[in-house]
Amino acid sequence: MDANALEIRPYASALGAEVLNVDLRTELDDATWSVIHQAFLDYCVLFFRDQPLTLDQHIAFSKRFGELEPYPYNEGLAGYPEVVEVVKLPDEVHNFGSGWHTDMSFREKPPLGAVLCCKEIPPAGGDTLFANMYLAYDMLSEGMKEMVSRLNAVHYSHTFSDSFEPFKGMKSTDTYGEQSTVHPLIRTHPETEKVSLFLSPDYCVLLEDMSPEESRAILELLEKHATRHEFSCRFRWRRDSIAVWDNRCIMHQALEDDHGARLRGKGFKRVMRRSTIKV
């Protein structure tokens, strides 16, 4: 692989870049990896097209970012515990991960990121949205920055798992049990040293030392601000597309837009393979 042939093409003004002229089925040399890793830090989420990876190749590429770990809500594939399939069947309305969230924010050390490969997708629909939490913080007023710098948020695993309806095409589990932790509302990225908001609406519903009503007012305001169109991008999947995101500075959600399933009980099937990178 020739690092000079790589092209990093910005995907949206807020975040994201497509990486062109690379074959992830091959072993990446250090020069090529250095370019990809820097783009990961610069753009927060990277997109690759036309990458028909085997499970072994998926794992090998994922491990370039760091050690992998199991996903708490789904069993891994046979022989490949680091990889889970995320499946929505044609008669199911909901997509797994359909609310805005930071992966596993209820843990003391949430994951570094994730690698998501598309194996089956309809001609349209089933997109994923990403939001840049650096920008969300930078565009707050100075008064709001000062206020959020003093606030801590309580993240609960059960706020998601209590409402989790197991998908028929997935093997659900809960290997972690109920967890909760407290995180500041802002955090500093360990590699870029940039400051971002730390939100996760799927898991976080309470601010420390505040009432539920006060917490809800502030958190809903921040979520509305952080997910503005100008801070986000929408990735349209194709078969064998890959997204790799930095969980330390973005939020994301799977768009629920299967109107055929909602209105007629028959829509599209969506199959993804996911690996999780340990911090």
Q: Which of 107, 155, 248, 274 is catalytic?
A: 274
Give SS3 for 147: helix
Question: Which one from 155, 248, 252, 270 is the annotated catalytic residue?
Answer: 252
CA 226, chain centre distance (Å)? 15
Q: Is 216 a catalytic residue?
A: no
Token duo for residue 238: 């194709």
Which residue is it, tokens 């036309």? Answer: 50
Q: Would you tell me how many other CB atoms lie within 10 Å of the CB of residue 35? A: 17
Query: Which tokens belong to 14?
Result: 């807020």
Catalytic residue among 103, 202, 246, 258: 103
Please report the sign of the dihedral spanned by the C-alpha atoms of residue 144, residue 147, residue 150, residue 151: negative
Catalytic annotation present for 103: yes
Residues 6+ apart with CB under 8 A from 52: 25, 240
Q: Note if 240 is an active site residue.
A: no
Residue 158: active-site member: no
Catalytic position from the list 58, 101, 107, 270: 101
Q: 7 - beta bridge partners?
A: 20
Catalytic center residues: 101, 103, 252, 274
